[in-house]
Amino acid sequence: MSAGTPVDVKICGIRTVDDYDACKAAGAAFVGMVFFPRSPRHLSMQEAGTLADHADRYSDGPARVALTVDMDDAELEKVVAAARPHLIQLHGSETPERAAAIRARFGLPLIRAIRVAGPEDLAACREWEDIADWLLFDAKGDPGGLPGGTGHIFDWTLLADHAGKTRWMLAGGLSIDNIDRAIAVTGATAIDVSSGVESAPGKKDADRIRNFVSRAQLG
């Protein structure tokens, strides 16, 4: 990535209309809506519907991403009906076959999370090249812990020479303090942040969102 190239930012885990408005005002390209009961950012269907109704008032707002973890079709139908997402993020143990079925059923682009701890984890990228529209490289957390939003960081140099065909986002422990280095090392043109723009788990901070997006967009 050349110096000064703008970077698209996804703010994951928004919970309120104020969160959405802060992301829109900052210029975020995506907002993530989390549907995972163990997460402090989990949304009920009613909360998701309220957010979607508010967002639909604007024609130029961030694209909505529904983050799901190993949901069956019945659960996904509820999420899609409530959140009316532009993309579905698969953040569990979904197989490429399951992902293909989800894409065929719902007709929405997919973001596939790839949890990275070492170079061997990037080998999984190849099997997603004709299924996922985006890959999201996140850090492996603790076994049995949350699938994302934990603030863990992986070795960014693993992505320095990544040459896969699928567009990708960088995630995992990003903040205003490390975003410059993360972009410089990986060459990322899209990034995902959650805990790095919060004042407490699940509580987004408008100033941190604005500052983070501004810094990232400097490229």
Which tens digit of pLDDT belongs to each residue from 43-95?
999 999 999 999 999 999 999 999 999 999 999 999 999 999 999 999 999 99
Question: What size, in residues, is the chain?
Answer: 219
The better pLDDT of the pair 14, 161 is held by 14
Q: What is the mean predicted confidence (pLDDT) over 146-166?
A: 78
Q: How confident is the model at residue 124 (pLDDT cuts 50, 70, 90)?
A: confident
Q: What is the CA radius of gyration of the chain?
A: 16
Q: How confident is the model at residue 41 (pLDDT cuts 50, 70, 90)?
A: very high
Mean pLDDT over each residue of the chain, to the nearest integer: 92
Contact 189, 1 (CB under 8 A): yes
Q: What is the mean predicted confidence (pLDDT) over 122-137?
A: 93
> In terms of Cα–Cα distance, which of 171, 211, 182 is closest to 27?
211
- Give this prediction's pTM: 0.92
Ramachandran region of residue 77, left (φ > 0), alpha (ψ -120 to 50) or beta?
A: alpha
Q: Which domains does the chain have, with CATH numbers?
A: 8-216 (3.20.20.70)
Burial pattern 167-182, b for ≥16 Cβ within 10 A else e, equals ebbbbbbbbeeebeeb
Q: What is the mean predicted confidence (pLDDT) over 183-196?
A: 95
Q: What is the mean predicted confidence (pLDDT) over 134-158?
A: 75
- CB-side exposure of 105: number of CA atoms within 13 Å? 14
The better pLDDT of the pair 2, 113 is held by 113
